[in-house]
Amino acid sequence: MPPAEAPLLEARGVSKRFGGLAALADVSLAIGRGEIYGLIGPNGAGKTTFFNCLTGLYQATEGAFLLGGARLAGLKPHAIVARGIARTFQNIRLFANMTALENVMVGRHARTRSGVLGAILGTAATRAEERDTVERARALLAYVGIEPRAHDLAKHLPYGDQRRLEIARALATEPQLLALDEPAAGMNATETAALKALLERIRHDGVTLLLIEHDVALVMGLCDRVAVLDYGRRIAEGTPAQVRTDPQVITAYLGGALP
Amino acid sequence: MDIFLQQLLNGLVLGSLYALVALGYTMVYGILELINFAHGEVVMIGAMVALTVLGVLAGTPLPPAAMLAIAAAVAIPACMATGFTIERVAYRPLRRAPRLAPLITAIGVSIVLQNVAMIVWGRQYVSFPPLIDVHIHEVAGATITNVQIAIVALAALIMAGLLLLVRRTRLGRAMRATAQNREVAELMGVDVNRVISATFVIGSALAAVAGMMVAAYYGLAHYAMGFMLGLKAFTAAVLGGIGNIPGAMLGGLLLGIIESLGAGYIGDLTGGFLGSHYQDIFAFLVLILVLVFRPSGLLGERIADRA
């Protein structure tokens, strides 16, 4: 069901060309507050490019993103984080040689202030902020269920925990919108079920979710609405049930309509 | 035995200076993978500015400690501003250029700064005013001065502070995150340009202190002094593992000690053919040996980490 109130995130005619290749062509969509919105499509359809444009890693060739009605065009990635968009990565990209706790603490950067001077002088404000950062980071590790690994280096965590750590680090930025790039990739059925519960809890706690995912069962069971990309174009949008029976979607995935 | 202990003490002092300068090289390399060859010139500017201030203050009735403090209070911000400007003007526009471009620019900046210093301060040596009462202490047959003790103690204090900054503070975490993966750090809310500026500014502050210490130790400063000092400190950073902060400290101390011991024994080793003024060859011998046998340095494993 389309959102009644103003959308949290809106993409207006977003295009991204690399030389002659159109990775995204005129993609528009709107995500309501509190929604879990899926972005699916065959490999190379432009899903990760969409994320990269959204988070400021790439500049869209045309079109713009609006968060809560405010344009994000031209903002640097760290400024977009400050506005309230956080992400995870398809191939895990943690700070491998920092502890799990420190990884999450880096995520607090946009929400904290202290400078070098405060640190050198050891001011009360700086120390209070640092304590608060540690406490929040620990709470987030507990929230995603990996608190016992707080002092392990990120690279020494098992794969599933690394995925959870990425989510905790993204949540540390206090996002309004959390963009997850294939969060269930490489997970077995049990891990995927636990992930689904975690994502539902995150939504329940007030964060809107946008996820790229290939696990059809997860998308069907979790997402309120789904958009389908193919060759950079949005070819369908709707509830999972609507989308899975859409002839264009079936063509995109299977290469032709069934007889 | 006396010579050994004496040279060990001298090496410790020299090594403390190398370590402070090496930190500037290694911090910038850790974050940008850039060898900032102009860093030696920042040390020189620190020494020159401090000596200029001391020259002005020398006639006044201020106590020497106050003069040194004022000189530091001028030289440190001057170097911080220099480091900040170098990064903004010379390196930031080349952030996306092939790696050779900023390297060549770094050499260019180094030459520019040397020539500016030559115009400002002239070609002659500038001497350190005689405001410190030098006391000589005897330690088991070797001697060490109060200036040398102060250099080692202050360098140790500053390095401990730097380690705390990098390991325990918000900026330090942002620096480490940026060094490990700049793009992801930015996507997690870190303003990477600010972190890079802070890195240059902190390294330049250390360079200012090192410049003052070098000037106090040798009693002299010169517009070209940053060149050899910079090369030695770079060698120290490579020896410790460039990009690695404790590595730069270790590399600096080791290089200072190797050089001092080498200078102390080179006469005996060559039957008097080479004198102690050949001590510079040891630093570069070390550089070559490290690059051949352990290019990642003693503590470095950055490249392995990335693979």
The shortest CB-CB distance from B186 to any of A77, A129, A130 is to A77
pLDDT on residue A4: 57
Residue B50, domain extent: 2-306
**CATH of residue B157:** 1.10.3470
Q: A128 at the B interface (CB within 8 A)?
A: no
The arithmetic mean of pLDDT across residues B100-122, rounded, is: 96
Which residue type sits at A42? P
CA atoms lying within 13 Å on the CB side of residue A72: 30
Count of domains forming chain B: 1
Euclidean distance between CA atoms A70 and B127, whole angstroms: 61
Q: Is the confidence at residue B179, as pLDDT, over 90? A: yes
Which residue type sits at B45? I
- Enter the tokens of residue B263: 């200078």
pLDDT on residue B80: 97
pLDDT on residue A259: 52
For chains A and B, CB pairs below 8 A equal 86
- Enter the tokens of residue A10: 């809106």
Q: B304 at the A interface (CB within 8 A)?
A: no
Q: Where are the domains of chain A?
A: 1-84+175-259, 97-174
Euclidean distance between CA atoms B63 and A122, whole angstroms: 29
Neighbours of A28 (CB within 10 A): 13
Q: Which of A57, A91, A101, A106 to mutate to test the interface with B (most CBs of B within 10 A)?
A: A106
Note whether A236 and A244 are within 8 A (CB): no
Q: Which of residues 85-114 of A touch B (CB under 8 A)?
A: 86-87, 89, 93-98, 102, 105-107, 109-112, 114
Euclidean distance between CA atoms B57 and A20, whole angstroms: 67
User: Are residues A106 and B183, on separate chains, in Cβ contact within 8 Å?
Assistant: no
Asked whether the whole model's pTM tops 0.95, one would answer: no
The shortest CB-CB distance from A109 to any of B181, B184, B190 is to B190
Q: Tell me what ipTM this predicted complex has.
A: 0.91
Residue of A nearest to B176 (CA): A98
Euclidean distance between CA atoms A185 and A89, whole angstroms: 10
B307 against B132, higher pLDDT: B132
Strands (E), chain B: 126-127, 136-139, 142-145, 220-221
- pLDDT tier for residue B305 given thresholds of 50, 70 and 90: very low
Euclidean distance between CA atoms A106 and B177, whole angstroms: 7
Average pLDDT taken over every residue of chain B: 92
Euclidean distance between CA atoms B192 and A77, whole angstroms: 10
**A63-122 tens-digit pLDDT:** 999 999 999 989 999 999 999 999 999 999 999 999 999 999 999 999 998 877 787 787
Q: Which residues of B touch A171 (CB under 8 A)?
A: none
Q: B95 at the A interface (CB within 8 A)?
A: no
Q: Which of A78, A113, A130 to mutate to test the interface with B (most CBs of B within 10 A)?
A: A78
B276 against A143, higher pLDDT: A143
- Enter the tokens of residue A143: 């929230």
- Enter the tokens of residue B27: 């911090």
pLDDT on residue B304: 40
The arithmetic mean of pLDDT across residues B219-246, rounded, is: 94
Q: Which of residues 199-228 of B touch A (CB under 8 A)?
A: 202
pLDDT on residue B167: 92
Q: B214 φ, ψ to 5°?
A: -60, -45
User: Are residues A95 and B181, on separate chains, in Cβ contact within 8 Å?
Assistant: yes
User: Are residues A110 and B189, on separate chains, in Cβ contact within 8 Å?
Assistant: yes
pLDDT on residue B300: 77
Q: A189 at the B interface (CB within 8 A)?
A: no
pLDDT on residue A118: 80
Q: Which residues of A touch B188 (CB under 8 A)?
A: 81, 86, 106-107, 109-110, 169-170, 173
Enumerate residue ranges in chain A where pLDDT < 70: 1-4, 255-259
Q: A231 φ, ψ to 5°?
A: 45, 40
Q: Is the confidence at residue B303, as pLDDT, over 70? A: no
Quick check: helix, strand or coil at residue B144?
strand
Q: Which of residues 9-68 of A touch B (CB under 8 A)?
A: 55-57
Q: Is the confidence at residue B307, as pLDDT, over 60? A: no
pLDDT on residue B301: 63
Q: How far is CA A239 from CA A39, A219, A221, B8, in A?
A: 12, 10, 11, 76
The shortest CB-CB distance from A107 to any of B161, B188, B202 is to B188
CB proximity list for B174: less than 8 A, separation 6 or greater: A106, A109, B185, B190, B195
**Least confident interval from A124-138, B251-265, B290-304:** B290-304
**Least confident interval from A24-28, B8-12, B70-74, B295-299:** B295-299
Q: Which CATH superfamily is domain A1-84+175-259 in?
A: P-loop containing nucleotide triphosphate hydrolases (3.40.50.300)
pLDDT on residue B1: 56
